[in-house]
Amino acid sequence: MNDSFVLTNNENIEENDGLSLKSKRRLRNAKAANTIKAYNSDWRDFVDWCAYNKVEALPALPETIVNYVNDLADNAKANTVARRITAISENHIAAGYSRENNPAKSALVRAAIASIRREKGTFQHGKAPILLETIHLLAGCFENIDDLARLRDRALLFLGFAGAFRRSELVNVQIEDLTFTPQGLIVFIPRAKGDQLGKGSTIAIPYAPDKSICAVRAVQEWIQSAGLKEGPLFRPFKKNHELRDIQMSDKSVALIVKKYIAAAGLNPKDFAGHSLRRGFATSAAQHDVDALSIMRQTRHKSEKMVHRYIEQGNIFKENPLNRMFDK
């Protein structure tokens, strides 16, 4: 049944004699690699459930999908259920099923997910944000730096916050993507999560008045001390402490975050790699930065998530109790 995941091996494309090899190669890349990986994982879960219950996964009946998501909903969040349905739908589309014949688009499945959302809610518990005051706290971990690893880690943390980077974006930054100016640093991002067409975007990071938390100076010192000329900005070290030529894993970002959060006296379980990006947006909201300016730095395409950060950032500032206490 694993061969039924046609998003990576689509016979409608591979066996189409009317398509050139170049066309087939481009069609294989119609969706981002991380998206395909997530869909593949979700589809395998559905296939395993179908195999256990002795029902067909492709094509699936609407009743099969409804029964699957109801079993899934016993232990999963509503958003996870919705994502699984998307994976099932996308795989049926890749297999040649039109919207009218796609079982995941049926009224029965839509009613099932609406019921699950109403019952379980859609609130997502995220990791704690690394706020501007947290960055000041972390700066205390980097006084009198005497080794390259800590110079790298400081640059990664400060740049990750100042540029509101996703983990994958941060580790993908190349020396060639950086432009230093009298005002600060410009970082070019060739491709990001919300930029499926690869138009690219730029992020401006000014010098911070407080040198101890300045991302631009931290990046400059890291580059100069490591002698970097080209290639990945953030790299792992060998066991003998020599710098490698490859980029770091995005999972390393979370490990570095947790390491210094713990050193600063906070609970590392509350934080993750996304805490840097989330923290920038929340801190910006706390400092009355408008939604469009936040979106320019975070590269969000929708205001929905940004307004959620703004609400979180202002949860105390606009609390009615403050006015009551003032009187």
For position 209, what pLDDT does the model report? 94
What is the Cα–Cα distance from 83 to 72, expressed in whole angstroms? 12
Q: Give which of 151, 78, 178 is closest to 121, Cα–Cα.
A: 78
- Asked if residues 266 and 258 have their Cβ atoms less than 8 Å apart, the reply is no
Q: Can you list the positions of beta strands (E) in 73-193?
A: 178-181, 184-189
What is the Cα–Cα distance from 1 to 50, expressed in whole angstroms? 9
The conformation of residue 54, written as its DSSP 8-state character, comes to T
Q: Is the pLDDT of residue 29 over 90?
A: no
- Mean pLDDT, residues 9-13: 69
- Asked if residues 95 and 58 have their Cβ atoms less than 8 Å apart, the reply is yes
How high is the mean pLDDT of the chain?
87
Residues annotated as catalytic (active site), given as ranges: 166, 193, 274, 277, 300, 309
How large a percentage of the chain has pLDDT more than 90?
Answer: 55
- Three-state secondary structure call for residue 308: helix
For position 193, what pLDDT does the model report? 61
Q: Is the pLDDT of residue 227 over 90?
A: yes
- Asked if residues 233 and 174 have their Cβ atoms less than 8 Å apart, the reply is yes
For position 1, what pLDDT does the model report? 43
CATH architecture designation of domain 132-313:
Orthogonal Bundle (1.10)
Q: Kindly tell me the burial class for residue 172, based on how many C-beta atoms sit within 10 Å of its own C-beta (0-12, 13-18, 19 or more).
A: buried
pTM exceeds 0.85 for this model: no
- Asked if residues 235 and 175 have their Cβ atoms less than 8 Å apart, the reply is no
- Three-state secondary structure call for residue 41: helix
For position 130, what pLDDT does the model report? 94
Token look-up 């999560």 returns: 193
How confident is the model over 287-323, as pLDDT tens digits? Answer: 888 888 888 898 887 777 777 767 766 677 767 777 7
| CATH of the structural domain 2-120, one choice from 4.10.93.10, 1.10.150.130, 1.10.287.3510, 3.50.50.60 | 1.10.150.130
How confident is the model over 97-117, as pLDDT tens digits? Answer: 887 889 999 999 999 999 988
Query: What are the backbone dihedrals phi and psi of residue 311, each rounded to the nearest 5 degrees, phi first?
Result: -60, -40
Domain layout of the chain by residue ranges? 2-120, 132-313
